[in-house]
Amino acid sequence: MTRTIALVGIDGSGKTTQAHRLADALAAEGLRASYRRNAGGRRWFGRLARRLGRGDDAEDLLGRRAMLFVESVLRWLAIARTSVFSQFGTDLAVMDRHAVCQYVSIRAHAGGRGEGFARLAYGLFGAPDVTVLLAIEPGEAYARIEARGTDHESLAYLTAADAAYRALPEAAAFLVVDAGGAPDEVTTAVLAALRPWLPPLHLPPDLDPAGPVSAAPAVVTPGRTPESPHRSSAQTRRWPGT
């Protein structure tokens, strides 16, 4: 039985939006599903830095090493809280981020220095039953972040983070969904990719054009981030070399 679903991806991929939408869609169909956020505080510290006139992001305020440490601790505490709810509660937890997001942050910000320690600390928690990678071109993610105007990430960082997600040892088990479309399209694709892990549902037509969810073998071939700006409506694509 699926108890935990984590949505991960680079900043600007829509993790928070889609985690909320997924939890709401599942709850509307009778599942005890709840949204759980596993944030590391980087955006909050970035806003504080701007308010204090100390720069544009969290590292301007705390420095790179200190911010990575604080982020690692805060995310660990958030995942610990979520894990407790998942172990003793009855809800299906839809997680906004998970441990792999911290490994990516360490790789993209510090070249991987400290990842081994982070893996030891986060290894206390089990992996989510299903991890969905919301894949988006770094340039498009950058444009989204600039448009919302609440935080800032460089294109270089987003590109490094995208590469880091692809290189993780966990990457082969991700369900990769194209996150470059409109929110409704992405939600539909996420629900379709998750079908084998969910009980039979009767979703609204705008979220499940293929009809009610039916039982299926729990096997989905991972996809990859689309390389062409002309994306199709396909839900997943194969990794190179598969």
Per-residue pLDDT tens digits for 3-24: 899 999 999 999 999 999 999 9
Distance CA 116, CA 220 (A): 29
**Tokens, residue 109:** 């910000």
Fold of 4-197: Rossmann fold (3.40.50)
213's torsion region: left (phi>0), alpha (psi -120 to 50) or beta? beta
Residue 52 scores a pLDDT above 60: yes
Residue 207 has pLDDT above 70, yes or no: no
Of 192 and 151, the one with more pLDDT:
192
Taking the C-alpha atoms of residue 116 and residue 241, their distance in angstroms, rounded to an integer, is 28
Per-residue pLDDT, averaged over 42-61, amounts to: 63
Instruction: Give me the mean pLDDT over the 197-226 stretch.
Output: 50
pLDDT of amino acid 241: 36
Q: How many CB atoms lie within 10 A of CB 183?
A: 12
Residue spans per domain, the chain: 4-197
Query: Cα(76)–Cα(98) distance, rounded to whole angstroms?
Result: 9
Q: Cα separations (Å) of 56 from 41, 48, 74, 235?
A: 15, 9, 21, 35
pTM given for the model: 0.77
Block residue for tokens 């490094």: 160
- Statement: residue 90 has pLDDT above 80: no
Amino acid identity of residue 154, one-letter, is S
pLDDT band at 60 (very low <50, low <70, confident <90, very high): low
